[in-house]
Amino acid sequence: MMTRNELPCTCRKLANPPNNPVLFLLLISSSLLSGCGSNDIVDLKKYIEEVKARPKSAIEKLPEINMVDPFVFPVDTLRDPFKPLEEPETYQGGGMTVGNGLKPDFTRRKEELEAFPLDGLKMAGTIVMKSKLWGLVKASDKTIHRVQVGNYMGKNFGEIIRISTEKIELLEIVPDKPGTWREQQSYLALTQ
């Protein structure tokens, strides 16, 4: 092995770094970057010539845009969609009648799946426990919940009325006009 005095002059300089660390870092970084300054761009020029030599192709036509019919919102007949729903008791106090008498039970304690909109829930399957068919529902937070007939889910007071191996059927109570509600059937189909 060579001793320090036997090293060539440039190696001895590198073996003794300067006392100034900034100068030393500048020296090292400049020596590393000196290899990046090559003016050899033959490959780049060759690639550009190759791209320019390619045959020109026709530009594809843009897809046709389907026109959507405008919807005129009748302000005087429908409720304002940007205001929160009011409970029927509020409408009664304002002198309005409660239409057909159908209304959700606001005093009932909400179940866990009522925190998710129905389109954020997916049927994951079914399971039979004690000879009873239960539905498995996957919420948007990736948790799987077990449900049975009579449970509620979704934001529209959706009560489960039937569970089969293909879908879970619900009966929702949705607002119709101010002070009135209507029933609406919906379902969650089994997803693969």
Residues 6+ away with beta carbon under 8 Å from 172: 118, 154, 156, 157, 158, 159, 183, 184, 185, 186
Q: Looking at residue 67, what is its pLDDT?
A: 87
Number of domains the chain is built from: 1
Q: Tell me the average pLDDT across 106-111.
A: 90
Q: What is the pLDDT of residues 119-144, one digit of tens each?
A: 899 999 999 998 899 999 999 899 99
Position with higher pLDDT, 88 vs 24? 24
CATH of the domain at 135: 2.30.30.830
Determine, yes or no, domain membership for 71.
Answer: no
Determine, yes or no, domain membership for 14.
Answer: no
Determine, yes or no, domain membership for 49.
Answer: no
Determine, yes or no, domain membership for 61.
Answer: no
Q: What is the mean pLDDT of the chain?
A: 80
Determine, yes or no, domain membership for 9.
Answer: no
Determine, yes or no, domain membership for 41.
Answer: no
Q: Given a cut of 50, is residue 9 above it in pLDDT?
A: yes
Q: Given a cut of 50, is residue 78 above it in pLDDT?
A: yes
Could you list the residue range(s) of the whole structural domain that residue 113 is in? 88-189
Q: Given a cut of 90, is residue 22 above it in pLDDT?
A: no
Return the minimum-mean-pLDDT range out of 56-60, 158-162, 167-171: 56-60
Q: Given a cut of 90, is residue 175 above it in pLDDT?
A: no
Determine, yes or no, domain membership for 144.
Answer: yes
Determine, yes or no, domain membership for 1.
Answer: no
